[in-house]
């Protein structure tokens, strides 16, 4: 993981600590945590058709889940301006008692829950190409967390409908943008400026956490969305002013083209700092259906205003 201070040229590189089991159990059932430990220490194997583990996965998963804690400490102490958690395994598919989609523990949910326990309000923006089913299920009844997901639909894991708006006290705090294949940066910009930014201003989070997957990149081989690095820069740059200084964390999620990830992560950090990206490839245009998703979401959300 790394925290930037006074420009991307000034990086503080940190090793993520192992999370303590009590904190991990605020999101995951103790019996599930124990089962993952025993599974990994026995040599690992396939938890489901997509999710494999080996012996070393136990330590890696504990460190990935513990990274957010030290990042929050550094940012809270003013020792860094922004944190990017380059951890593996990713996390946003992991449910309270189920590993899914390469994810063992829900890293971003663990950090969010720790902040909520301190009496703070948290917003999670998930721009991974897949819906963060684990994150949504963890917080869908919480009035203290706003969850926003941009994802391709229909696509794995099959969740993230526009009709999912939270339950109980969390009604109105879940927002899903299920975009069709071919959706590009023009629609993401509309969604951010017309829907997400106003919601964040009204919700007034103390922290913004981003599930920063880069598999929506146009060069990613797994999916069909068409973002370019400049789009990630613009999204990050638009989110940064909506929270107090040094209160924004990025958690690496999916991404299956290493060059695209590298360029997009660099653009993300430049966007937070307001620096030009210099990407030669312009933003692409989206199909009409993608714009209709934004229109319908705006109308749905207006009912909760």
Q: Residue 227 half-sphere exposure, CB side, CA atoms within 13 Å?
A: 33
**DSSP assignment, residue 222?**
S
The pairing of strands 248-252 and 207-212 is parallel
Local confidence band at 213 (pLDDT 50, 70, 90 cut-offs): very high
Lookup result for tokens 């705090």:
173
Range 22-32 average pLDDT? 98
Range 60-76 average pLDDT? 97
Looking at residue 276, its pLDDT comes to: 84
* pLDDT over 70 percentage in the chain: 95
Looking at residue 7, its pLDDT comes to: 46
Domains of the chain with CATH codes: 2-302 (3.40.800.20)
Are 220 and 231 in contact by the 8 Å Cβ rule? The answer is no
**DSSP assignment, residue 285?**
-
Quick one: tokens of 305?
Answer: 């205003």
Closest CA to 205 of 66, 112, 108, 79: 112
pLDDT at residue 253 is higher than 50 = yes
Counted residue by residue, the chain has a size of: 305
> In angstroms, how far is CA 143 from the centroid of its own chain?
19
Which of 107-121, 131-145, 215-229, 290-304 shows the lowest mean pLDDT across its residues? 290-304
Q: How far apart are CA 140 and CA 36, in angstroms?
A: 25
Local confidence band at 246 (pLDDT 50, 70, 90 cut-offs): very high
- What are the backbone dihedrals phi and psi of residue 76, each rounded to the nearest 5 degrees, phi first? -65, -30
Range 258-272 average pLDDT? 96
Local confidence band at 2 (pLDDT 50, 70, 90 cut-offs): low
Range 17-35 average pLDDT? 98
Tell how many helices (H) and how many strands (E) occur in the chain.
Answer: 10, 10
Q: How far apart are CA 119 and CA 96, in angstroms?
A: 22
Q: How far apart are CA 268 and CA 234, in angstroms?
A: 8
The 10s digit of each residue's pLDDT in 31-59 is 999 999 999 999 999 999 999 999 999 99
This prediction has a pTM of 0.95
Range 176-189 average pLDDT? 97
Q: Kindly list the catalytic residues.
A: 93
């Amino acid at each position: 993981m790394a925290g930037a201070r006074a420009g991307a040229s000034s990086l503080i590189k940190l090793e993520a600590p192992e999370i303590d089991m009590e904190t991990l159990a605020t999101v995951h059932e103790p019996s599930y945590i124990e089962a993952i430990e025993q599974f990994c220490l026995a040599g690992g194997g396939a938890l489901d058709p997509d999710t494999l583990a080996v012996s070393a996965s136990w330590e890696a998963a504990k460190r990935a889940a513990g990274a957010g804690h030290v990042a929050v400490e550094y940012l809270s102490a003013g020792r860094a301006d922004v944190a990017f958690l380059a951890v593996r395994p990713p996390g946003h598919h992991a449910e309270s008692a189920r590993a899914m989609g390469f994810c063992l523990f829900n890293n971003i949910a663990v950090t969010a829950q720790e902040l909520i326990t301190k009496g703070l309000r948290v917003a999670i923006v998930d721009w991974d190409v897949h819906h963060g089913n684990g994150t949504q299920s963890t917080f869908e009844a919480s009035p203290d967390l706003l969850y926003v997901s941009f994802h391709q639909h229909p696509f794995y894991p099959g969740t993230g409908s526009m009709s999912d708006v939270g339950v109980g006290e969390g009604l109105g705090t879940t927002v899903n943008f299920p975009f069709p294949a071919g959706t590009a940066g023009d629609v993401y910009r509309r969604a951010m400026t017309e829907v997400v930014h106003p919601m964040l201003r009204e919700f007034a989070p103390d922290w913004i956490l981003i599930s920063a997957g880069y598999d929506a990149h146009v060069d990613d081989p797994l999916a069909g969305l068409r973002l370019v690095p400049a789009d990630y820069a613009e999204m990050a740059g638009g989110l940064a002013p909506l929270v107090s200084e040094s209160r924004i964390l990025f958690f690496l999620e999916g991404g299956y083209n290493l060059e695209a990830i590298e360029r997009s992560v660099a653009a993300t950090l430049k966007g937070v700092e307001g620096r030009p990206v210099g990407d030669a490839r312009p933003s692409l245009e989206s199909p009409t259906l993608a714009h209709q998703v934004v229109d319908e979401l705006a109308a749905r959300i207006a009912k909760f205003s």
